[in-house]
Amino acid sequence: MIKISILSVLFAVVLIACDQPEPLAPKAQAIADLMTKLEAADLFNGIILIAEKGEVSYKGVHGHRSFNPREPLKSDDAFRVGSISKPVTAVAIHMLAEQGQLGYDDALSKFFPELPYDHVTIENLLSHTSGLYDVYQETEMRAAFYAFYDKLDPPYTNKDYLEYMIQYKPDLIGDPLEIDRYSNTGYVLLALIVEQVSGHRFDVFIREHIFESAGMTRSGIYSLLEDRDVPYIVSSYQIDPEGDVQPTPDPNAPRSMYGLTYGDDEVYTTVDDLLAFDQALRNGTLLKPASLNRMMKPPTLADGSTARYGQGMSVQDINDIRYVTHTGSAWSFLAYWKFATPDNDHTVIIFSNVRSQRNTFRAVYTAINNIFHNEAYDLSELFGG
């Protein structure tokens, strides 16, 4: 077993000097100071990138890409970013809408006639207001799905999701726009719609129309790789209660039920590539302004309240500041991306490949956002205070 210790873990922190307005310098220094404290306390293993108006002001590389053998992280290493895959899928859908190949009001049954959800639309799927269950969150649905999955060859895929829904036609957990409920299922189906409408396999469409257009050279769809032994994709680990670092998934454990669905998950990328995606959205390389606005505009629910999710991104107001963000997790990978908007024009990207407590990760990105807006933050609980 491998233990993290302050003496044994070597961190390489790179502070990139850029021609930036004077007010940015102390903020970048404050972030560097924060990361120095976190590294000394073994509270973060990963990479962080901060950019102002698209220019990198801070980039920190902390810890290891693997622990057995020990190999330090490199600034261009790729991480699996979990649900940050969803904005990528959303961009693909918006592209097809701009081309007139589908409409936001198109019903799910238009693409999958065997399904009974005539009143669930593309827009509902994008904004998590469809009422479709989430197999990871609805325990009854999960049990039923796994019972169905037992009859299939592992690991289950998008088509397995669809076959299950066609066979059992599970009830919605609410009418469209009645509830605001995050649904991985919706994005699994959106990826199948991309394939059906475009006539291309999902990873091919994403590579040719998004990654290549944005200049993302180290990004892809992990589950659709023919050879997953990609040297620049890092491994993930978790810290057990004794402080030991264990690989995830456990290579010695018997194969268990797990999925390799895409659309909701499975993108791998680097911090630089995600910044390129961020800027390609901002500058109109990928989408027209109207489509980008859709991604950032949550719908109004039936009770008059505003949903938490636009058509591809999470949107929330904190202390009268609008944040357009997305988080992600896969195995022990954790990822955070704050999109640069005209009213909050800095990008924050944080990737970690070692999971201890997710609240630690959340506290880090909250603190960084507070630094940018001159707000106080308190991390004393992380340091045992």
Q: CATH no. for residue 86? A: 3.40.710.10
Amino acid 114: pLDDT: 97
Alpha helices (H) in 173-242, listed in sequence order: 184-198, 202-206, 212-214
Question: Would strands 236-239 and 354-355 be described as parallel, antiparallel, or unpaired?
Answer: parallel
Per-residue pLDDT at 168: 87
Residues 208 and 141 in one domain: yes
Element at 24 (helix H, strand E) = helix 24-40
Question: Among candidates 308, 344, 307, which has minimal Cα distance to 323?
Answer: 344
Tokens of 225: 């790789």
Q: Give the type of residue at 117.
A: Y
Q: Report yes or no: 368 and 362 within 8 Å, Cβ to Cβ.
A: no
pLDDT tens per residue across all 385 residues of the chain? 444 443 333 333 333 334 444 444 688 889 988 988 888 888 899 999 999 999 999 999 998 999 888 999 999 999 999 999 999 999 999 999 999 999 999 999 999 999 999 999 999 999 999 999 887 677 777 778 778 877 766 667 899 889 989 988 989 999 999 999 999 999 999 999 999 999 999 999 999 999 999 999 999 999 999 888 899 999 999 988 777 888 887 666 544 445 689 999 999 999 999 999 999 999 999 999 999 999 999 999 999 999 999 999 999 998 889 999 999 999 899 999 999 999 999 999 999 999 875 678 999 999 999 998 899 988 888 877 5
Task: Find the domain containing 362 and state its range.
Answer: 1-76+325-385
The SS3 of residue 26 is helix
Q: Is residue 319 part of a domain?
A: no
Task: Give the model's pLDDT for residue 101.
Answer: 98
Q: Which of 229, 246, 269 is the last residue of a domain?
A: 269
What local confidence, expressed as pLDDT, does residue 154 receive?
65
Question: 96 and 165 share a domain?
Answer: yes
Are 95 and 243 part of one and the same domain?
Answer: yes
On whether both 134 and 222 belong to a single domain, the answer is yes
Supply angle C-alpha 343, 126, 249, rounded to 5: 100
How many distinct structural domains can be found in the chain?
2
Provide the 10 A C-beta neighbour count for residue 229.
6
Give the separation between CA 381 and CA 153, rounded to whole angstroms. 45
Same domain, 85 and 55: no
Q: Tell me: do 22 and 94 sit in the same domain.
A: no
Q: Sheet harboring 354-355: ordered strands across? A: 2-3, 244-248, 236-239, 354-355
What CA–CA distance (Å, rounded) separates 327 from 245?
Answer: 23
Distance between CA atoms of residues 110 and 52, nearest Å: 43
Q: Report the C-alpha dihedral over residues 150, 189, 273, 277, rounded to 10 degrees.
A: -170
* Number of other residues whose CB lies within 10 A of the CB of residue 135: 25
Residues 140 and 230 in one domain: yes
Per the CB < 8 A criterion, the answer to whether 219 and 269 are in contact is: yes
